[in-house]
Structure 1
């Protein structure tokens, strides 16, 4: 699939009224630039010491499991956000999609970076979600055909890729609301079970950020005469 360049608004002034003009920076370039910056911070604050790696998480730990699973979970949110930008001209939806794509691409880079720094594999023979302990975190179950809680199925992604305009906006907002619900469940589990402080802090930030976006998406769905599923 090929993607067209999306420009973010820049603001100049004409008299007393602000006037928006397009910026030439595409989504991918902005996301990569932010990812590189975050990667440098990641290397400084989360790498095990050069002389002692005994504190690095094990492959079966919650830290490793969350990093692996959330990286996959985030990738789908990025994919859906790239899809919707070509299915609607609505500035509010496209702006939200840009924010989600950039944020989750950056966070995904951090999670994968941690796995590399810990010397751990990016896949697990135990499958997805095996690291989550207790029934309290499994209230939002996976749908038939989806990999993890909240994730869209291939059929739903195909439907989003064919929808246009308002129909595409509603479906995107509904799918992302479900996606965020599953992501919050996983992030809360990491905040309780993960041992690496930086990862727990990232998980808590994901919880707060995605809950805020869910409230925004509920309002946007209401404006379009719809609601979360």
Structure 2
């Protein structure tokens, strides 16, 4: 029987992201009207890359520590997929002639907790908690992180102009909603009920 995480299409999404990342810079250069500084497209690329970076860091820890093979596989899928997407977004910025970092810190003005960003102590705890507790904490943190990613990408769909950026944001929404279902299934097996995501004023998510 296929593993649960495979049924949610994570492996297929990971492979597609790797292939797309290799073409990202070329596609970005081919489209007219290079995004200005700052613009919704540029801001989204920087903010989502920073958001993805935390997911990558948390997943690296669980790939090393997880005893549950399903959780290790899920963490590996997230690691590979989101690292490839970071490369794709950075490729856009370079093709547009924009620096990878702006004058303001990434996600400036956003409520980071509402966007699913884990606190530094929570992120550090993944390396120090007993393994089973760390696995459960990872599932909870990543669920919130993905919910925040869906909110960010959904908000960007209202403002970004580049077709490739809009298509990317829509893929993020679809894929991370699917991964949330996988996370929920794993949490259900552990009889764990996740806490609701903190609410935030959507105005703080404006990408330009």
TM-score above 0.5 = yes
Any stretches of 5+ residues in structure 2 without a counterpart? Answer: 2-13, 196-208
Other-structure match for 1:47: 29
Cα offsets for 1:191-226 (capped at 9, x unmatched): 121111011000000001001111110111110121
Q: How does 1:1-229 map to 2 (within 5 A)?
A: 35=18, 37-48=19-30, 55-129=33-107, 141-143=111-113, 149-229=115-195
The secondary structure found in structure 1 opposite 2:65 is coil
Task: Give the Cα separation in 1 of the matches to 2:86 and 2:95.
Answer: 14
Any stretches of 5+ residues in structure 1 without a counterpart? Answer: 1-16, 18-30, 132-137
Whether contact under 8 Å (2:115, 2:145) holds in the other structure is yes
Other-structure match for 1:9: none
RMSD over aligned Cα atoms: 2.4
The structure with the greater share of residues assigned to strand is: 1
Whether contact under 8 Å (1:84, 1:169) holds in the other structure is yes
Aligned length: 183
Whether contact under 8 Å (1:191, 1:204) holds in the other structure is yes
With the length of structure 2 as denominator, give the TM-score of the two structures: 0.80
The alpha carbon displacement at 1:48 in A equals 4.0
Task: Give the Cα separation in 1 of the matches to 2:22 and 2:30.
Answer: 14
With the length of structure 1 as denominator, give the TM-score of the two structures: 0.73
Bigger relative contact order (CA 8 A; separation at least 6): 2
Larger radius of gyration: 1
The structure with the greater share of residues assigned to helix is: 2
